[in-house]
């Protein structure tokens, strides 16, 4: 552990020119006293580190000195794709490896390119989670990731929407996907690829036996196909609406892209009042109700009849609450 930290300290000074003991301690997550001991150890090993006092001081390497200790370990090489996603790396338990990989890459770059890389890091930040949603609890993510890395079979206990809700399966884990702050496992079960949301895994155990991956499988291609068919599987019904000109303007801000696209494709010419008829995909009456109520008085549901009746019933109940101050469901 200390050897790795000494290398990291050396690479930090090589890439950043000058750093104080406090900056080094904060970056390496150790005490200042530990930094002092590490600097002494490097000096004893012949590394020309010297300190400058004052507000502009700090530790520096003798000008012209460069270490060649920039070879990536196997774990660091595997985590290169996560160097721009520190939060995701932390969830996977790979923070140390990602930090080491980033430092070694920076140390290997010429000074001009290294400065450009630093400027990019200072000016662009990727925040993967979506707005207004708490992060998923993923206590089994590290176990799943380890099985994916090492290509071991994985037994999971999973909570799904369909009955029976709780199932146990032995899977072949092919990959992990981070989508809008949510982690998903792509795994093969009985010859079929399936997608599991990590937060719904109740328990996970890597098994000793390994498996052979399907040669032509690519995670990115599978995920693209999964997303393309996701809305088709989810949207099994349709609803016909009349919407006002203002309602049409509101659609992209209130409804999901697939619904907005369908509305634009099916929009008729405006009637005498300027309203347009559209047909949109829906999941169910229960799911469509809150979504369509977002449009307020700028939309009227024409069909199906059960959805229209459900909205009328809801509006009457709301009117009862606002006019009488009590719920119609109260005795």
pLDDT in tens, 78-98: 444 455 556 665 666 655 655
Torsion 90-96-101-103 (CA) sign: positive
- Residue 238 half-sphere exposure, CB side, CA atoms within 13 Å? 7
Which residues are within 8 A (CB) of 285 and not within 5 positions of it... i.e. 6 or more apart? 304, 306, 307, 310
Angle between helices 305-324 and 285-293 (to 10 degrees): 50
For 138, list phi and psi in degrees, rounded to 5.
-130, 65
CATH, residue 76: 1.10.10.10
The answer on 90 and 29 residing in a single domain is yes
62 by Cβ neighbours in 10 Å (0-12 / 13-18 / 19+) ranks as: exposed
pLDDT band per the 50, 70, 90 thresholds, residue 114:
low
Residue 77 has pLDDT above 50, yes or no: no
Residues 14 and 34 in one domain: yes
Specify whether the CB–CB gap between 301 and 307 falls below 8 A: yes
Q: Measured between alpha carbons, how far is 63 from 49 in angstroms, rounded to an integer?
A: 10
Q: Is 275 helix (H, G, I), strand (E, B) or coil?
A: coil
H-assigned helices in 169-301: 219-234, 245-254, 257-266, 285-293
pLDDT at 222 over 60: yes
Q: Is the pLDDT of residue 246 over 90?
A: yes
Q: What is the pTM of this model?
A: 0.57
Task: Determine the average pLDDT of the residues in 114-129.
Answer: 62
pLDDT band at 100 (very low <50, low <70, confident <90, very high): low
Count structural domains, the chain: 3
- For 122-130, the CB contacts below 8 A with 24+ separation are 126/84, 126/85, 128/85, 128/87, 128/88, 128/178, 128/180, 128/181, 129/87, 129/180, 129/181, 130/180, 130/181
What is the Cα Rg of the chain in Å? 28
DSSP alpha helix (H) spans, 124-207: 141-150
Q: Is the pLDDT of residue 236 over 60?
A: yes
Peptide linkage before 304 cis (omega within 30 of 0): yes
Query: What confidence tier does 54 reach under pLDDT thresholds 50, 70, 90?
Result: confident
The pLDDT mean for the chain works out to 82
**CA pair distance 128, 87, nearest whole angstrom:** 9
Q: Within 10 Å of residue 317's Cβ, how many Cβ atoms?
A: 13
Check if the beta carbon of residue 220 is closer than 8 Å to that of residue 279. no
Same-domain pairing of 264 and 211: no
Calpha distance 4→119 (Å, rounded): 26
Under a CB-based contact definition with an 8 Å cutoff, are residues 186 and 193 in contact?
yes
Give the closest residue to 4 by CA, choosing from 100, 87, 130, 81: 100
Identify the domain boundary among 199, 233, 267.
233
Using the predicted structure, report yes or no on whether residue 138 has a pLDDT greater than 70.
yes
Residue with tokens 């270490």: 67
Domain match, 165 and 217 both = yes
Residue 250 sits in the same domain as residue 268: yes
Task: Give the structural domain span for 171.
Answer: 141-233
Top pLDDT among 66 and 164 is at 164
Q: Do 219 and 243 have their domain in common? A: no
Choose the final residue of a domain: 186, 209, 233: 233
List the CATH number of the domain containing 212: 2.30.30
pLDDT band of 299, cuts 50, 70, 90: very high
| pLDDT tens profile 157-201 | 999 988 889 999 999 999 999 887 788 999 999 999 999 999 999
In the prediction, which pLDDT does 212 show?
93
Among 9-13, 53-57, 143-147, name the most confident range.
143-147
- The pLDDT tens digits for 142-166 are 899 899 989 999 999 999 988 889 9
pLDDT band at 303; cut points 50, 70, 90: very high
Quick check: is 135 in a domain? no
**329 occurs within a structural domain:** no
């Amino acid at each position: 552990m200390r050897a790795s930290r000494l290398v990291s300290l050396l690479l930090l000074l090589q890439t950043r020119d000058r750093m104080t003991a406090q900056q080094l301690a904060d970056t390496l997550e150790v005490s200042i006293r530990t930094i002092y001991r590490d600097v002494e150890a490097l000096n004893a090993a012949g590394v020309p580190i010297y300190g400058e006092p004052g507000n502009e001081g700090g530790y520096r390497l003798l000008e012209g000195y460069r270490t060649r200790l920039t070879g990536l370990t196997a774990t660091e090489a595997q985590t290169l794709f996560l160097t721009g996603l520190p939060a995701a790396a932390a969830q996977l338990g790979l923070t140390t490896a990602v930090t080491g990989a980033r430092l070694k890459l920076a140390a290997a770059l010429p000074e001009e390119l290294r400065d450009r890389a630093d400027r990019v890091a200072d000016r662009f930040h990727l925040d993967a989670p979506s707005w207004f949603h708490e992060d998923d609890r993923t206590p089994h993510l590290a176990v799943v990731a380890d099985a994916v890395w090492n290509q071991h079979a994985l037994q999971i206990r999973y909570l799904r929407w369909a009955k029976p809700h709780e199932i146990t399966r032995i899977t072949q884990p092919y990959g992990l996907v981070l989508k809008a702050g949510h982690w998903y496992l792509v795994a093969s079960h009985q010859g079929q690829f399936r997608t599991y949301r990590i937060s719904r895994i109740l328990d996970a155990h890597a098994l000793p036996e390994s498996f052979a991956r399907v040669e032509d499988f690519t995670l990115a291609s599978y995920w693209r196909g999964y997303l393309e068919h996701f809305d088709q599987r989810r949207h099994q019904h349709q609803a016909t609406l009349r919407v006002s000109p203002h309602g049409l303007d509101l659609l992209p801000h209130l409804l999901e892209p697939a619904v907005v696209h369908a509305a634009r494709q099916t929009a008729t010419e405006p009637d005498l009042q300027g309203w347009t008829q559209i047909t949109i995909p829906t999941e169910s009456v229960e799911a469509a109700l809150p979504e369509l109520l977002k449009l307020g008085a700028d939309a009227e549901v024409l069909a199906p009849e059960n959805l229209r009746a459900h909205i009328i019933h809801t509006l009457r109940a709301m009117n009862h609450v606002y006019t009488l101050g009590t719920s119609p469901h109260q005795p």
